[in-house]
Structure 1
Amino acid sequence: MFTGIVEELGEIVAKEDLADAARFTVRGALVTSDAGHGDSIAVNGVCLTVVEVLGGDSFTADVMAETLDRSSLGALEVGSRVNLERAAALNSRLGGHLVQGHVDATGSVISRSPSENWEVVRISLPDSIARYVVEKGSITVDGVSLTVSALGRDGDGGEFFEISLIPTTLEMTTLGGAAPGTPVNLEVDVIAKYVERLQAAGR
């Protein structure tokens, strides 16, 4: 379990393509500082298991084909920057919201509208998860816990949502440099899915 508060920007320093998976080597001195084999670290919002710690500032993780296909991790290459967060401790503050590290769908950045003190980013919203997203609700974008500032439809009927990013988020996460067309991992608030399931069971 995570909170969606990114601890540091890491980097993919190696990628080994396997038959039905890929092994990534990720550099991140902070998240690796107390990591061990079997620990969980979120990489762009995807919960990965540490296979090996290398040199004190990097770790390796295996990513199965399904995860590569269903998330934006398949598009990562050596040199890609990634958002990193260690699993939450029970005695830590919940600065964001409850994040599982299980990607529900991918969207893509549609546009960016900068202003003096923040930047509004518009992201496509897949039909499969649109019902779980509400204005002023929480959503995780590439591992970052954010508040939905607006919802809408484009001229073709496709849905989108907007997030407003403060300078700290722009500086400390990959969202600061995500150009239009960039794919992003989306995880909706798990509470909404539980509520839907319970309501369906009670019919």
Structure 2
Amino acid sequence: MFTGIIEEVGTVKAVKRSGTSSFIEIQAKKVLEDVHLGDSIAVNGVCLTVTHFGGGVFRADVMNETLSRSSLGSLTSGSPVNLERAMAAGGRFGGHIVSGHIDGTGTVSDIKNDGIAVWYTIAAPRELLRYIVEKGSIAIDGISLTVAKVTDTSFSVSIIPHTAAQTILGTKKTGDTVNLENDIIGKYVEKLMKPSEPQKSESGITMDFLMKNGF
């Protein structure tokens, strides 16, 4: 589990793709202070497992599914990336519940200054927007942010200078792709409210029958 509070910005040293086998190497400092093989580190919001580390660099295997469904597939040597270690038991919960499992990607459609703040508007598919609510939480490239506005085609967030300076969001330009993870609570609520198969009644009385007859 992660909280969406970025610990540092790392730098991609190498991305190796060979058939169905791929891995990424990232130069970092803070997240390697107590690293162990098998640890989880979120890279731009994507939970990856450390398979090798040393010399200020860690390596993680990346499945083709992850490359195709996130922005990691567009990373090259020199790309900056947001990094966060998995939350330690008893640690401070600074953001919101972030699983590191990306729901999809969005596109930066507008950036504008508003005093000290900067507004980012993200165009996203309808299947992701259904879970995004005003004043709710969203993880953009692993950053826990508060949704300020939602429309039928996009949503907007307003960030402070600290967030822009300490994450890669401040380097984004119009047209750039970002990873999105919706608030996990909404997805679980929807699943629980919509059973996969309607329950059948031996008496023939169903919920649909009761609703149609005023119950």
Note whether the superposition's TM-score is higher than 0.5: yes
**What is the aligned-residue identity percentage?**
48
Correspondence for 1:156: none
Distance 1:67 1:165 in 2: 27
**What are the ranges of 5 or more consecutive residues in structure 2 without an aligned counterpart?**
199-215
Corresponding residue for 1:172?
A: 166
Looking at structure 2, the residues matched to 50 and 149 of structure 1 have their Cα atoms a distance apart, in angstroms, of: 35
- Residues 1:45 and 2:45 aligned together: yes
Deviations 1:116-147, CA, capped at 9 Å, x for gaps: 21100000121121111000000000000000
**Which of 155, 159, 177 lines up with 1:183 in the alignment?**
177
How much has 1:64 moved relative to structure 2?
A: 0.5
Q: Deviations over 1:70-123 (max 9, x none)?
A: 000000000000000000011111100000000001001001001221100000
Q: What residue is the counterpart of 1:60 in the other structure?
A: 59
Distance 1:164 1:21 in 2: 38
User: How far 1:21 moved relative to its partner?
Assistant: 3.5
Which residue is equivalent to 2:115?
A: 116
Aligned length: 197
SS of the equivalent of 1:89 reads coil
| Deviation by residue 1:6-53 (Cα, 9 ceiling, x = unmatched) | 000000011111211321110110001111110000000000000001
Question: Does residue 91 of the first structure (1) align with residue 85 of the second (2)?
Answer: no
1:150-190 Cα deviation digits (max 9, x unpaired): 0124xxxxx10000010010001010010001100000001
Q: 2: CA distance between counterparts of 1:189 and 1:172?
A: 22
4+ residue runs of structure 1 moved beyond 4 angstroms? none
Confirm whether residue 193 of structure 1 aligns to residue 192 of structure 2.
no
Q: Which position in structure 2 is the counterpart of 1:14? A: 14
Normalising by structure 2, we get a TM-score of: 0.89
What letter is aligned with 1:123?
Answer: I
SS in 1 for 2:151: strand
Q: Show the 5 A alignment for 1:124-139.
A: 124-139=123-138
Query: Aligned AA for 2:52?
Result: E
Give the distance between the partners of 1:147 and 1:58, measured in 2 at CA: 32
Find the aligned partners of 1:195 and 1:152 in 2 and give their Cα distance. 22
- Where 2:150 maps in the other structure, the secondary structure is strand
Equivalent position SS for 1:61:
strand
Q: 2:15 and 2:104 mapped to 1: Cα distance?
A: 23
**Greater gyration radius:** 2
**How large is the Cα RMSD of the aligned pairs?**
1.1
Which residue of structure 2 lines up, in the alignment, with residue 5 of structure 1? 5
Structure 1 runs not aligned, ≥5 long: 154-158
Within 2, Cα distance between the matches of 1:100 and 1:29?
A: 23
Distance in 1 (CA, whole Å) between partners of 2:101 and 2:30 is 22
Match of 1:162? 156
Using the size of structure 1 for normalisation, the TM-score is: 0.95
Residue 27 of structure 2 is matched in structure 1 by 27
Q: Secondary structure at the match of 1:36?
A: coil
SS in structure 2 at match of 1:79? coil
